[in-house]
């Protein structure tokens, strides 16, 4: 699925919307915000594309409450996220040596093929000071 990467209208819109949102967003959010701008794209198409892009490492993903959040990748190398619980705004960070540290510790406990998931959640300054929801977006 999605082997050829054609440039279609829906794809352009999805990427553009991800850019506007600039925060971890669900497929539904992308869909809704596109609708709000009068751009019609089938929700299935959005799910399919977000999934495919994530598979190609073009998007970062995050799981919360059984929902998948996507965001355009900023950083190429392995990193973690500090995500605002209110608006989804995100800061990326890395912990040098963390990967090796976990692998090592796990191995000493008899585990192999180790992977890890680390996410930090909090409330960003802007949200703490007033704003309640996602901002971004503006012109067309």
Partner DNA sequence: CTTGTTGCAAACGCTTTGCATATCA
Partner DNA sequence: TGATATGCAAAGCGTTTGCAACAAG
Task: Supply the minimum distance, in Å, between the C-beta of residue 76 and a second copy.
Answer: 21
Q: Look at residues 88, 89, 80 and name the one whose alpha carbon lies nearest to residue 120.
A: 80
What is the enclosing helix (H) or strand (E) of 32? helix 27-36
**Which of the listed partners (a second copy, DNA, none) does 27 bind, with a CB threshold of 5 to 8 Å by partner kind?**
DNA
Look-up: residue for tokens 């970062």? 60
**Joined tokens for residue 27:** 């497929």
Size of the site for a second copy (CB under 8 A): 29
Binding piece for DNA, criterion CB under 7 A, among 43-51, 74-82, 96-104, 115-123? 43-51
Contacts of 122 (CB under 8 A, 6+ apart): 82, 83, 84, 85
Select the residue interacting with DNA from 16, 28, 126, 128 (CB under 7 A).
Answer: 28
Q: Footprint of DNA on this chain (CB under 7 A)?
A: 1-11, 26-28, 40-45, 47-49, 51, 66-68
């Amino acid at each position: 699925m999605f082997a050829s990467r054609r440039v279609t209208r829906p794809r352009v819109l999805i990427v553009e919307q991800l850019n506007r949102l600039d925060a971890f967003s669900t497929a539904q959010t992308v869909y809704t915000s596109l609708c709000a701008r009068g751009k019609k794209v089938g929700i299935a198409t959005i799910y399919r594309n977000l999934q495919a892009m994530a598979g190609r490492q073009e998007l970062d993903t995050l799981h919360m409450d059984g929902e998948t959040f996507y965001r355009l990748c900023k950083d190429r190398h392995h990193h973690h996220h500090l995500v605002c619980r209110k608006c989804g705004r995100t800061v990326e960070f890395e912990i040098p040596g963390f990967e090796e540290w976990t692998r090592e510790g796990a191995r000493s406990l008899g585990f192999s093929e180790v992977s890890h998931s680390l996410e930090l959640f909090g409330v960003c300054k802007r949200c703490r000071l007033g704003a309640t929801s996602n901002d971004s977006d503006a012109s067309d």
